Amino acid sequence: MAIVSEPVRPLIGNILRYIQRERKTRALFSFSLFHLLSLCQEFVGESVVGFP
């Protein structure tokens, strides 16, 4: 888990900073959050989300 969290943590931080800087609509945040979750699932597998 530590090996995965190291590259992912800065990615999440960058996305959160981007959202805060570009905060225009809730749609942007929702899309970004959904996209981030999708990337995490593809990158580390579905087990990270908590489902088998």
Phi, psi (5° rounding) for residue 24? -110, -50
Amino acid 4: pLDDT:
54
Give Cα 27 distance to the centre of its chain.
15
Q: State residue 43's pLDDT score.
A: 67
State the pLDDT at residue 35: 82
pLDDT at position 47 is: 54
**What is the per-residue pLDDT across 1-52, written as a single tens digit (0 to 9) for each?**
455 556 677 877 887 887 777 666 666 677 778 888 887 777 666 555 554 4
What is the pLDDT at residue 20?
75
Q: Do residues 15 and 39 lie in contact, with contact meaning Cβ atoms separated by under 8 Å?
A: no
Domain boundaries, the chain: 13-42
